[in-house]
Amino acid sequence: MIEEVRDRLYRIEVPLPNSPLKELNSYVIKADDRNLIIDTGFNRSVCFEAMQKGLSALDIDLSKTDFMITHMHADHTGLISRLATKTSTIYFSRIDARVFDKDNNWQAMIDYAVINGFPADELMKVLHNHPGYKYSPKTIPDFHLIDDGNIIEMGDYNLKCISTPGHTEGHICLYDEDKKILFSGDHILYDITPHIESWAYQINSLKNYMDSLDKVYNLPVNIVLPGHRNFFTDLQGRIDELKEHHQLRADEVLNVVESKTKNAYEIAAGMTWDIDCESWADFPVAQKWFATGEAIAHLRYLESEGRIKRNTESEIITFSASSN
């Protein structure tokens, strides 16, 4: 589906089969000399065909088109090397671009999952079913690396890059101050809650996310254009809801731990999840992975607040309620 959002600004809905996200919102800005595409969809034929159809209907010449990728996840980056041409500038976060370094691999994440209690015999199944593994770009183009405060000009649109770590470490939103439009990527979604996970103890993803919500809270905004689902107008109201959601989830983690000592995988198993399964044992292994990552993010946040203690004496890391 193609929709004109504002003058010369369009949304192409890119299907994401078998994903709870349902679709990706790819935004297209048409200008006289060049165009800009914001996010692309998985590297899958169904996504590629939807993008081709939408771009054709909008009469987009890809040789005169640049790209902006809000963050590293495959549903946003997947098609970049298939759509971009030799004349395309591809704007991408300096921080998130590190995920595509040649010496970067999944092993560190797998090792981290093991020490957090994830069953080793399930990990390869997770890896080969992970959308980031299956649907990422097969070749990596040259990126024009961007940082907080950079400006991307395209026609009548003047887009300020706002660094909003949390969903990923290098997530970037785009803000047009004159038009009061915020392209929020996966930082702020309306119908669903952005997934906040942690796969390294050096990064406090949830604390970063809360701070990033505060960073954009007072922006004058008439419309928020997220990476998935519906547009919305009440930025502050939605941020208040998201912050309350994560505080409630943190409280739930504390209740699951109680007076016991548990690893992150066990804690995730005791949390409530909006998944149509009778028990944790019935969860698809990929959902167990996402759930464990989210549990770790909340545990790391609680640890930074002194409400949870991380125990590292054993091979498997555990958590217990703080004695403070």
Partners of 38 in the β-ladder: 27, 68
Say which residue the tokens 């369009």 belong to: 10
Structure token digits, residue 216:
């954009």
Using pLDDT thresholds of 50, 70 and 90, give the confidence band for residue 173.
very high
Taking each helix axis from N to C end, the angle separating 235-257 and 285-304, rounded to the nearest 10 degrees, works out to: 90
List Cβ neighbours of 186 (8 Å cut-off, separation of 6 or more).
Answer: 70, 71, 73, 76, 167, 168, 171, 194, 195, 226, 227, 228
**Tokens standing for 27?**
């935004």
* Among the listed residues 170, 207, 198, 166, the one whose alpha carbon sits nearest the alpha carbon of residue 294: 198
Ranked by mean pLDDT, which of 129-133, 135-139, 180-184, 319-323 comes out on top? 180-184
pLDDT at 107 exceeding the cut of 90: no
Average pLDDT rounded to a whole number, residues 157-165:
98
| pLDDT 10s digits, 16-70 | 998 889 999 999 999 999 999 999 999 999 999 999 999 999 999 999 999 999 9
d(CA 42, CA 208): 26
- 104 confidence band (pLDDT: 50, 70, 90): low
Instruction: State the alpha helices, DSSP H only, in 58-119.
Output: 74-77, 80-83, 107-115
If DSSP codes are grouped into helix, strand and coil, which group holds residue 187? coil
- If DSSP codes are grouped into helix, strand and coil, which group holds residue 323? coil
Rounded percentage of the chain residues whose pLDDT exceeds 90: 85
How confident is the model over 262-267, as a mean pLDDT? 97
Of the pLDDT bands very low, low, confident and very high (cuts 50, 70, 90), residue 105 is low
Determine if residue 229 is left, alpha or beta; phi over 0 gives left, psi from -120 to 50 gives alpha, anything else beta: left
Provide the b/e sequence for 58-97 (b: ≥16 CB within 10 Å): eebeeeebbbbbbbbbbbbbbbbbbbbeeebebbbbbbbb
For 130-149, the pLDDT digits (tens) are 888 889 999 999 999 999 99
pLDDT, residue 103, reads: 66
Please tell me the predicted confidence (pLDDT) of residue 169: 96
Question: pLDDT by residue (tens digit) across 274-311?
Answer: 888 989 999 988 889 999 999 999 999 999 999 999 99
Strand partners, 262: 319
The residues that bridge with 174 in the sheet, in sequence order, are 161, 183
Query: What letter would DSSP give residue 262?
Result: B
Contacts of 89 (CB under 8 A, 6+ apart): 66, 67, 144
Please give the model's pTM, rounded to 2 decimal places: 0.96
Q: Mean pLDDT across the chain, nearest whole number?
A: 94
311-316 average pLDDT score = 94
Of the listed ranges 2-16, 64-78, 118-132, the one predicted with least confidence:
118-132
Instruction: Pick the more confident residue, 51 or 108.
Output: 51
* Structure confidence at residue 13 (pLDDT): 98
| The predicted structure's pLDDT at residue 121 | 85
Is beta strand 90-93 parallel, antiparallel or unpaired with respect to 65-69?
Answer: parallel
Q: Are strands 151-154 and 23-30 parallel, antiparallel or unpaired?
A: unpaired
Sorted by where each starts, the structural domains of the chain and their CATH numbers stand as 2-105+144-233 (3.60.15.10), 115-129+243-321 (1.10.10)
> On the CB side of 124, how many CA atoms lie within 13 Å of its CA?
1
